[in-house]
Structure 1
Amino acid sequence: MPDFTLEEAAERDCGGLVAGLDEAGRGPWAGPVVAAAVILDKAMPLDRLDDSKLVAEEAREALFEEICERAIVGVGIVDVPEIDRLNILHASLLAMQTAFARLREPAQSALVDGNRAPDLPCPARAVVGGDARSASIAAASIVAKVTRDRLMRDLDADFPQYGWARNKGYGTQEHAAALVEHGVTIHHRRSFAPVARLLEPHASR
């Protein structure tokens, strides 16, 4: 289970507050990429905190509310036009920069899930598998995923034929079939190959 070992090391090195950063939505064909930055209070540990992919949806929703109530949280959202302009890697890094900038108190260091950290106004350490190791990153993964899932459910209300409330924009068989039948929407990432192929002049419908 994730704990505060990495946060404590960062506190020794840099002092002050430590933010955990993670993103959700790098892989889907549709919808924004969302990042969160979270500063946890070690005096108020959260039960059941884990990588968002390992937490059931109902438990994620409950943890999201607890984190937002008891922690310092910032969220960054990069929409589809920016994803297509920047590419998904740089859009994800931008979302993390935005999330960090929106923390109501500045952090003196950051722990970032993955092998690459965004440019931040403080030391940042990239941690592969960080959402399974760092409590702050795990909390950020919960906030990012729940926020994005809610956005995709909202988009599903306007485009129910794509099943986004269920597949969250990922390339499921249902989503692929709907793309062929109904075409590409303003919320689809045109830079992603499965979508781009449907926009080619010779693409069959």
Structure 2
Amino acid sequence: MRLLLTDSGITNASIHDALVDLLGKPVAESSALVVPTALHAQKGGAVLAARAISGDLAPMAQLGWKSLGVLELTALPSIGEELWVPMVREADVLLVEGGDPMFLCHWMRESGLADLFPTLDNMVYVGLSAGSMVMTPRIGEDFVRWSPPGGGDRTLGVVDFAIFPHVDSPGMATNTMAHAEKWAATMPMRAYAIDSETAIKVTDGDVEVISEGNWRLLNP
């Protein structure tokens, strides 16, 4: 599985080019599944999920895909795998929306989607905010809002670095680079602080930062 871990989706030409490179073909020839699950664990989640799917909330779902489906993780444990696993395997890309990273992590595990990841060799995974953070080993206590059974801040650990998103984002007073440095000091692994114009591309373990904005590598 190839990863494009973004702060705010496909926000500029450089990130779009990185997406096309990972797909190996144009967006218009690619099938996508959008995962809105993380949005449900915050106020107004149902409305935010609708906006994400319509493309009004962030530039992910409405990029001109050949086809687009919705994969709601909370529904998957109550239906047979034969109804959703083939659909995931056939898709070119998963578009995993933001929201609450621990809620998303819980349902990725409970649904069985996380167990599929090692077998999805041809899949491109595009994360937005929480959708990116969930792929790291930990998010740090600062970002824990919804608490999973057993507590903690551990996430899936698909990559070996942490992510601090939304650097200097309007309306997020604590998401400064200075705050990111304090957060990184509590983390046992290297971390990337990124803004809305930045993404992290991961291919076969190789990590490349794609940015038209502001970012920083923070070592433990």
**Structure with higher RCO (Cα < 8 A, 6+ apart):** 1
Relative to its length, the structure with more helix (as a share) is 1
Which protein has the bigger strand share? Answer: 2
If the length of structure 2 is used for normalisation, what is the TM-score?
0.26
How does the TM-score come out when normalised to structure 1? 0.28
